[in-house]
Amino acid sequence: MQVALFVARLVLFLVFAVAGVTKLADRTGSKQAMADFGVPTSLAAPLGVLLPLAELAVAASLIPSFTAWWGAVGALVLLLLFVLGISANMVRGRRPHCRCFGQLHSEPAGWKTLVRNGLLGAVAVFVVWQGSGSAGPSAVGWVAALSAAQAAALIGGLAVAGVVGAQWWLLLNLLRRYGLLLRRVEALEGVEPLEALPVGEVAPDFELPDLHSEALFLNSSAAPEKPLMLLFVDPQCGPCKELFPDVGHWQTEHSDKLSVAFVSRGEPEENATMALEHDLTDVLLQQDWEVADAYHVDGTPSAVLVRPDGTIGGSALEGVHDVRDFLARTVEEPAQLR
């Protein structure tokens, strides 16, 4: 029983320690996750910091035997809150990204997330059930018996392991990004540049999810009420980042004249960070390049204008300066595009 209790506490410690550290390292993503789960905007930022701090406090209290029972109680309370939050959103038909482990791992909250939290909750119940005086052996009691040389060796080993782990994490992220780039290059090799869609042609239909997993669409039977600029971007695109501040301003100040919708790709958390940093709205996520291909766009940033009658209002524009100039002209003279 003592060994089982120790293993249960160790499992909870690892889960909550990793969750707390990764959330603190991705505070923007944690804030976005809070907002996605329905937390008021004014509370999303502070709770995005308090939650990982609470997780780290739970992890730390699970190590010494005299605080382990309280740590298990704290873990159980947090897990129950997670289950309630996920269940409430699922009942409403929403599946926000939980970002349970920051940028290390993120997925839409659903049954899989509920089952995982339920299993962890069962582990916490097992420790709590044993009582406050029977939480198992201390995880750090053996440290006191180490000599100075052994303690130094332990610290050095942990430091080396941390550096190696960080290097592997960076390498895996670089390889993932390189793989995405290679796939795009392969898709473009041997393909002739697409001719721009002619002005007056009916804009291709599409349906894409936004950052809140809600589907938004464009079709000829439900044309926009005002000019709609489809801005094709990528969160890793340098020129796109140069354009974002201007577009964020246009979305706020000139929404009565022009709608701007971003058609992006990549990981939802990357796009959420991009949107938060520049106060962007209406960010839609394509799986690969399917909507860009339908609109004959082969680079980012690019823009295509859709008239209120659902037809193409201008050839595809590519590059920061052309897109910025065209957006400015559209805001100044919107009547010519109707």
Give the Cβ contact number of residue 114 at 10 Å: 15
Residue-wise pLDDT for 162-204, tens only, equals: 677 667 666 766 666 665 565 555 555 554 555 678 888 888 8
- The residue whose two tokens read 């009547």 is 335
Give the pLDDT band of residue 80 (cuts 50, 70, 90): very high
Residue-wise pLDDT for 283-318, tens only, equals: 888 887 888 888 888 778 888 888 888 888 876 778
Handedness of CA 284, 290, 293, 294 (dihedral sign): negative
Percent above pLDDT 70 for the chain: 74
Instruction: Report whether pLDDT(138) > 50.
Output: yes
Closest CA to 247 of 256, 234, 236, 258: 258
CATH architecture label of 206-337? 3-Layer(aba) Sandwich (3.40)
Average pLDDT, the chain: 77
Judge contact between 237 and 320, C-beta under 8 A. no
- Mention every residue, 6+ apart, whose C-beta is less than 8 A from residue 241: 274
Judge contact between 24 and 154, C-beta under 8 A. no
Give the pLDDT band of residue 237 (cuts 50, 70, 90): confident
Q: State the Cα–Cα distance between residues 150 and 310, nearest whole angstrom.
A: 73
Q: State the Cα–Cα distance between residues 218 and 287, nearest whole angstrom.
A: 16
Q: What pLDDT was estimated at residue 74?
A: 92
Side-chain half-sphere exposure of 176, counting CA atoms within 13 A: 10
Among the ranges given (92-96, 124-128, 182-186), the one the predictor scored with the smallest mean pLDDT: 182-186
Residue-wise pLDDT for 5-28, tens only, equals: 778 888 888 888 888 888 888 777
